[in-house]
Amino acid sequence: MKYIDEFNEPALARRLLDDIHATVTQPWALMEVCGGQTHSIIRHGIDQLLPEKVELIHGPGCPVCVTPLDMIDKALEIASRPNVIFCSFGDMLRVPGTDRDLFRVKGAGGDVRVVYSPLDALTIAQRNPDREVVFFGIGFETTAPANAMTVHQARRLGIRNFSLLVSHVRVPPAIEAIMRSPSCRVQAFLAAGHVCSVMGTAEYPELAERHQVPIVVTGFEPLDILEGVRRTVHQLERGEHRVDNAYGRAVRDDGNPAALRMLEEVFEVTDRSWRGIGTIPDSGWRLSAAFREYDAEHRFQVDGVRTCESAACRSGEVLQGLLKPNQCEAFGTVCTPRNPLGATMVSSEGACAAYYLYRRLEHGPASPKEASPVG
């Protein structure tokens, strides 16, 4: 299958790995921003194939994982109300709030439904004019245009019983926050290709220059990631700090103009809280004043929610790249996908879920790296 099989070719992977091994002369720490990239790295053992001097740090690139606890609790409060149909993507249903999750709300009688698109939720609203229908709109720049378009469509069609619970976050301010952290060890970034396919690369050169870090846009298949690492290492070894697009088949410098216009019309930039990290200035979106009537937080007045994180969960450190999942004392014991303490064990893009799924279960330092080609 084009762009799948050809980007999993072992012989090409070996050539890229040989180049990386031949280039590296000193230790480097690279952060992959996207949780999808993390899963690909762990699934294919890419981190174990790289030179010992190249460390991949898992960043806060899972949208489910960084959705703040207070927003989860607001979702639970709204979904529990008798006249509400609460719609969400499936991976949000088991994300733990303070004392329950959406599955428990559904089990207690709440009308919680899994949908595959925000437009599905809008259709439900059309078919149930006597009910309030809420869609849980989370994610990075990748999912924001579809949610913006759905709200735009709701207003155009005059559908008043639909609203959006918005928890969208933006990648560049997160990179800024990571680099400003006193505990930061990151020397370069692998930027998320799908985010850049929407937004383009215009926000990254200033970040690369200000913090003297290479930023290489890359995809999600093994060869994509290895090529991204290869280009990054070459920059680091030469003392360069440029933005490099290694995902040219999907990313243009100016992004997707139609999606950008929709985002600009429907959303406005705001400060946003990230679970396990805290508030990052200008790191999110909310509905603009022109679309405020479709804002579920405004409609349902859920500002008084009180939250409490699990004391045993260290997912905040995992999200900041300070801790590998299997270095957490709860990992794989009291915290498993069937009984998760935090969102990083629940989400299909969470780092803890990746380590558990692909059997990186040993506690403590990672096992020695092996040198066999990706297959």
Is the overall model pTM greater than 0.85, yes or no? Answer: yes
Non-local (6+) Cβ contacts of 270 within 8 A are: 282, 284, 285, 286
pLDDT averaged over every residue in the chain: 91
208 or 363: which carries more pLDDT confidence?
208
Confidence of residue 359 (pLDDT cuts 50, 70, 90): confident
Q: Is residue 25 within 8 Å of residue 183, measured between CB atoms?
A: no
Confidence of residue 364 (pLDDT cuts 50, 70, 90): low
Residue with tokens 């735009």: 152
Q: Is pLDDT above 70 for 368?
A: no
Q: According to the model, what pLDDT value does residue 343 have? A: 86
Q: Is residue 361 within 8 Å of residue 326, measured between CB atoms?
A: yes
For the chain, what is the radius of gyration of the CA atoms?
A: 21
Mean predicted confidence (pLDDT) in 234-263? 97
Least confident of 64-73, 168-177, 228-237, 284-293: 64-73
**CA–CA separation, 143 and 106 (whole Å):** 25
265 to 26, 36, 150, 173, 295: CA distances (angstroms)? 47, 29, 12, 21, 15
232 or 334: which carries more pLDDT confidence?
232
Non-local (6+) Cβ contacts of 19 within 8 A are: 230
Q: Is pLDDT above 80 for 373?
A: no
Residue 237 CB: number of other CB atoms within 10 A? 13
Mean predicted confidence (pLDDT) in 209-238? 97
Q: Is pLDDT above 50 for 354?
A: yes
Non-local (6+) Cβ contacts of 236 within 8 A are: 28, 187, 188, 214
Q: According to the model, what pLDDT value does residue 162 have? A: 98
Mean predicted confidence (pLDDT) in 146-159? 97
Task: Return the structure tokens found at 209.
Answer: 């220059």
Query: Is 268 strand, coil or helix?
Result: strand
Confidence of residue 371 (pLDDT cuts 50, 70, 90): very low
